[in-house]
A and B are shown apart, each in its own frame.
Chain A
Amino acid sequence: MSSENAAEAKFVDERPPSLVRQAFRLRRTQIGAVLALMLISVALIGPFLAPFGSTEYVDLPNTLSVPGTIFGTDYFGQDVLSRFLFGGRTILILAILATSIGITLGTTLGLTAAYLRGRADEAIMRALDVVLSFPQVLLSLVVISMFGPSNVLIIFTVGLSTTPRIARIIRGAAIGVVERDFISAAEALGESRKRVVFAEVLPNVTSSLLVEMNLRLTYSVGLIASLAFLGFTPEPNAANWGLMIQENRVALTEQPWGVILPTTALALLTIGTGLIGDGFSRVSAGIDRGGKGE
């Protein structure tokens, strides 16, 4: 291997770690990470700190001042604080699973389509268009009325309908990159296509990916809450932030905490992941430019 190739190979290997490190040098990424970590901890550790059980009856529903509680009781006479502490876990798992499916499928398909170009590209994107064209809420509604509401179905529905959106954006970003010289150069070097796709194109679309991921996370939770609003819930009374919002919505004027707590948690989580995403996109934008020019 010539010295130039060695240098380039080294550069490729070094990129991922320095990206992360660079991103975390920014104040905004740090704040975002703190927020996200804080909420993830609440979600994970919360159940151990809860004063009451998640379905334990405490007092008359929707009562603000109940001795022994800070925020009073919810729509079913349960402690709002305890429900909140229990409610993060399920939501996180659901949302992460759903988003992961969407991102994995979407990224693979999007990159493949971008890289293969031509007929394969068309075929993939048209197939995805079919999925895309299917109204997401309707898809959920119909699937749910077919099989009944269940968490697994929600995960797959959100994941499946997220896929084409992500694929589209990834493909859009990747197409520009794919046309760049250094990819052709790598091909000329004889590296396998797969390696080229994942090792060299991927880091350059990280920014779009991260921005989308953060939005999809929020959207999954929102979808769960919205489906509950329309009357379709997998486990009624499950301790789950999205469900909490809908369950306590009717009594909002009498017992606001039942909605305020989970909504605030969601908002902070979204802000946190958003800031992290911003930090990464900022940093990877610099790398996208590359040092070598067009």
Chain B
Amino acid sequence: MLRLDCLRSVYSELESCLVITIMGAVAAELHSLGHRPNFFYLQHAMGLASSTGLGLALCLPEQHVIVFDGDGSLLMNLGGLSTMARYRPKKLVHVVFDNESLLSVGGFPTATSTGTDLAGIARAAGIPRVIAVSSVKSFKDTVTEAMNSNELTTIIAKVEAKGPSAYLTDLSLLENRFQFRRHIQSLKR
């Protein structure tokens, strides 16, 4: 399963969500499908995409928020899973693309390649719904269900360690950040 195909399968449904991605391949691939003002790409600070989604979801409980995380980033902030589980905002969907690799720095294997089970960790942390998927069809169905479930869901999607040829986009970090905030403020009016 390719991450890009997963992202493509849910792209149209992201229109109504606030979307946070981690850096590297996830950001570049989502951007390649077409940037929207409701997408924020956290191009550093590994581990904090999920915390950012949690902050957004706690402040805007009626708004669907979806985080596209990765195994390398999540492993840097496993405690954040316990914080998400503690507050479990109903409209937060936490997707983890697990390619068992730190792909953008040369493909070094992460601990999920030697048996660390992120779905098991998420369950044990107390995330109320945790689902592991391995096909694009089940990915799309699971994301759609999660958005309608009214319960915090973590989805672990095992994907191949393949990414885009380039990671830089033509969207500056600050342009993205200000556009994203302005978009959210416009939703309130």
- Do A and B assemble together? no
